[in-house]
Structure formats: C-alpha cells, structure tokens
Amino acid sequence: MSVFKIRGGRKLKGEIIPQGAKNEALQILSAVLLTEEPVTIHNVPNIVDVNKLIDLIRDLGCKVEKLGEESYRFTAANINTLFLETDDYRRKAAALRGSVMLLGPILARYGKASIPKPGGDKIGRRRLDTHFLGFQKLGAKFNFDSSEHLFHIDASELKGCYMLLDEASVTGTANIIMAAVLAKGKTTIYNAACEPYLQQLCLMLNRMGAKISGVGSNLIYIEGVEKLDGTEHTLLPDMIEIGSFIGLAAMTQSEITIKNCRIDMLGIIPEIFRRLGIKMEFRGDDIHIPSQEKYEIETFIDGSILTIADAPWPGFTPDLLSIVLVVATQAKGTVLIHQKMFESRLFFVDKLIDMGAQIILCDPHRATVIGLDRKNSLRGIKMSSPDIRAGVALLIAALSANGTSEISNIDQIDRGYQNIDKRLKALGADIERVID
Ligand SMILES: CC(=O)N[C@H]1[C@@H](OP(=O)(O)OP(=O)(O)OC[C@H]2O[C@@H](n3ccc(=O)[nH]c3=O)[C@H](O)[C@@H]2O)O[C@H](CO)[C@@H](O)[C@@H]1O
Ligand SMILES: C=C(OP(=O)(O)O)C(=O)O
C-alpha cells in the first residue's frame, strides 16, 4: 500500500492542466459497445477506474487500440457475451462503480446482461433501483440473485415508453439512455439527470445516429434507431479536478492558473467557491487564482449563516463538498455543509479536527465549519484516505498544514486523479509517494 508523505506550508505556483473527466469517461467508454463501428475517444485520463473499465471492455472482445497518450480507438464488432458468465468478469466489474453502465449497451445490443454489485466509493447506500426500474419500463425482466450477488436483466426486445425516474441518478440516466437509443419507438425520460457528463454522452450518441432531444434538461426524448455508427469524441476537462485545484490554491495561498477549463460547462461551481470568498479571474478559458492570505465566507442576504448543499445538476455536485469543507476551515466566517445525497461522506472531518480545524459534525449529513481565518495553521498528522474526494480534501489540508502528514490508502485518490503527486510537485509541492 502506498502512502503520500507531505511536508506542508509551502505556497505553490504555476499552471496546471485538468485531466479528462473521470465520470464522463466511464459513460462514454460504456457507449462504445453500442456500435460495431470504430469509436475514437480523446482526452482519456490515465486513472485507475478508467483503466479498469477499458480492461473490461477489452475482455468483452472489443478491439482497443491506443492511438496516443490520451486517445483510444474502440471497435466493438465482436462482443463475447459469454465473458459475462465468468468469475473474472464478476471480480473486475465489482471493482468500480462505472462498470454498471455496461448493462444498458449490452442489453440494447444482445438482449441480456448481468452485473455484480458494483464498487466505487463507500460513501453510504448506493442503490441501483433507478437503473433497473428504467430497464423494466423498457420491457426487460429483472432478477437479483442474492446467493451470487448478481443482477440479471433480460429482454428480447426493448420498447420505448414514458418513464418518470424515482430520482435523477447520474449513472442510472446514462444506462437508460444507452438502452433506449436502440429500443423500438419513442422513450421519454422525466426527472433525468443532466450533468455535463450526460450532455456529452447524448451529444456523442446523436453523432452516432441516435435521436435524442432535450439534452441538458431533465426531460429527454429518444426516438429509437435500428443501429448506431462510429464517431469521434473528446472528453471535457474534469470539473471535479478543476474545483479541487481552486480549493487547493485558496487553502495554500498559492497563485495557480488552471488551463482550458471549459468554463461554460462548470455551472455553479465557480460561484460556490466565490461564496467562500475566493477570488478568481477568468482569462479566456483559464481560471487564474491569485495568492490570497484571507478569504471571507459570505452570509445569506439576511445575515444568517451560509449553507452549501449538494443537488442534482444544475445544483452543486456532491463530489466537491469535501473540498469546499476543507477550504472553509481556513476562511473567515462560518458555513454549514449539507451533504444531502450520501450519508457517509463527511466522517473524514474527524481527521481535520485532529489537525486543528474547528468543525462540528452535526449528524452524518451536516457539518458546521468555523473558519480559523489563518490565525492557526492546521498541523500535519497521519491519516488514511476514506474515499476519493475526502482523500484529496485531506491532501489539500496536508499541503497547507504545519509539519509533515502521511496519507495512506491513496489508491482511493489514484482512482480519480491522474499522477497527482507529480503534477503537484511541478507546482512546488513537497510530496512524496512512498511505496511499501
Ligand atoms: C461514476 C459516477 O458517475 N459517479 C457519480 C454518480 O454516481 P451514481 O450515479 O452512482 O449516483 P446517483 O446519481 O445514482 O446517486 C447518488 C446519491 O444521491 C442520491 N440522490 C440522487 C438523485 C436525487 O435526486 N436525489 C438523491 O438523493 C442517491 O440516492 C444516491 O445516494 O453521481 C453521483 C452524484 O452526483 C456522484 O457522486 C458520483 O461521483
Ligand atoms: C463518488 C465518486 O466516484 P464513484 O461513483 O466512482 O465511486 C466520485 O467520483 O466522487
């Protein structure tokens, strides 16, 4: 198990380029299985979860050609659905959350698919009901084999229909869309998730010949087509990385320019960091964060304490709440962080409290942060990364802290952040990966 050893308290400086978006990559890679023709994808991040999904796709019989550092061509002409029956498939698919999105395309093309309980962050209950309710609406039969922990779906023919999703699930919406594009007739999905990941997926599917309208809204219309063609697609920069870097700059008083951010696709993210008092300058498509000794959290208009809560897009993504929370620990003022979606994502605040932060964990969903206004620095400690985003939040805390910190379980961070230690070193961070 590798560990990050960090000597904190240094100001960083320089430019950083965000990687391609992890959560978009997982959708787009699944979608290559919808056609027998080549699909070329650019800006693919070299991160553990994405590489695991590419491996799975290859194991399924899809031809995978690496065209460059970040470009791949996939040709899913001959898919071996028998691989779905193997232990190898079950083991590999259970290792990441994104594997669940193989279901929609395989069901659409081959009428049958199965998946073990998928992995991903342990951040509370992560139900898959929306996925299966959606497939059932399209005419599939669903069965959960509790002895083997396997979900099976079966449909000789998928038929378009109207459906109102029970919740705007990101991967659930992607799965249903990928099944519906090849279904017979018209599908309407209401209460669809509409994160940029999904907008990108729909745009790619339309380039492949799908007929999807309502892209970017929570009301999606799909007219099923017989088959899809190949295409080319470039992933957006990872908005969660961009948010993480904004937080990193503020917390460490660093002057950082984040390059090529696709600011038009960041939604409310910059505004939320602005409410924490962080100054940002948009320079073309770059975000420049000047070195800031102080930043002050806004209050609501009536003077009451600010709440920052997650919500389905265009609300604030839950994947950045841990970062916002850590940044607030050195701000002037108080904020209530309300993690509505996941019930076990705030427990990492214990470690921040050990480091000297002033936080009250009100309940599993809410934490009040009373900013230190830089009157005291956090102090370095030994800690373990509980999940991908808490891991990066702790990394940011460690980089700002006095003394040395050690973060173990950094595989969690590697799941979603490409070469993070090397890229931070290039900005001047004192971080070392110690491999046991
Ligand atoms: C691989 C991938 O893309 N993972 C992302 C995806 O996970 P994933 O698609 O698994 O998450 P879902 O969107 O299904 O749901 C996330 C959680 O929010 C709850 N929920 C969701 C919608 C809603 O309207 N109300 C509600 O309470 C769900 O019950 C669940 O606990 O979306 C999450 C929510 O943005 C992100 O944290 C994950 O990084
Ligand atoms: C929760 C996340 O990922 P996953 O859904 O893959 O666990 C995340 O990216 O923050």
387 is catalytic: no
* pTM exceeds 0.95: yes
Residue with the two structure tokens 């002050």: 296
State the angle between helix axes of 22-31 and 103-110 in degrees (0 to 180), rounded to the nearest 10.
10
Rounded to whole angstroms, the Cα distance separating 250 from 370 reads 16
Q: Which CATH number fits domain 3-19+237-434: 1.10.1200.10, 3.90.1150.10, 3.65.10.10, 2.60.40.1080?
A: 3.65.10.10
Q: What is the position in ligand 1's atom list of the atom closest to the CA of 310?
A: 35
List the chain pLDDT tens, one digit each, 436 residues.
799 999 999 999 999 999 999 999 999 999 999 999 999 999 999 999 999 999 999 999 999 999 999 999 999 999 999 999 999 999 999 999 899 999 999 999 999 999 998 877 777 888 999 999 999 999 999 999 888 889 999 998 999 999 999 999 999 999 999 999 999 999 999 999 999 999 999 999 999 999 999 999 999 999 999 999 999 999 999 999 999 999 999 999 999 999 999 999 999 999 999 999 999 999 999 999 999 999 999 999 999 999 999 999 999 999 999 999 999 999 999 999 999 999 999 999 999 999 999 999 999 999 999 999 999 999 999 999 999 999 999 999 999 999 999 999 999 999 999 999 999 999 999 999 999 7
Domains 3-19+237-434 and 22-234 share a fold: yes
Residue spans per domain, the chain: 3-19+237-434, 22-234
- DSSP characters over 377-413: --B--EEE--SHHHHHHHHHHHHHSBSEEEEE-THHH
Is there an atom of ligand 2 within 6 Å of 170 CB? no
> Is 341 a known ligand-binding residue?
yes
Q: How far is the CA of 119 from the centre of ligand 2 (A)?
A: 9
> Is 97 a known ligand-binding residue?
yes
Q: How far is the CA of 333 from the centre of ligand 2 (A)?
A: 30
Nearest CA to ligand 2 atom 10: 319
Rounded to whole angstroms, the Cα distance separating 344 from 143 reads 28
- Nearest ligand, measured from the Cα of 322: 2
Contact predicate 240/416, CB 8 Å: yes
Fold of the domain spanning 22-234: UDP-n-acetylglucosamine1-carboxyvinyl-transferase; Chain (3.65.10)
Contact predicate 58/81, CB 8 Å: no
- For ligand 1, residues with CB inside 6 Å are 23, 26, 97-98, 126, 167-172, 193, 312, 317-319, 341-342
Is there an atom of ligand 2 within 6 Å of 389 CB? yes
Q: Two tokens at 286?
A: 């770059």
Is there an atom of ligand 2 within 6 Å of 121 CB? yes
Nearest CA to ligand 1 atom 2: 23
Is there an atom of ligand 2 within 6 Å of 319 CB? yes
282 class by beta-carbon count within 10 Å (0-12 exposed, 13-18 middle, 19+ buried) = exposed
Which residue from 117, 132, 170, 177 has its CB within 8 A of the most atoms of ligand 1, so it is best to mutate?
A: 170
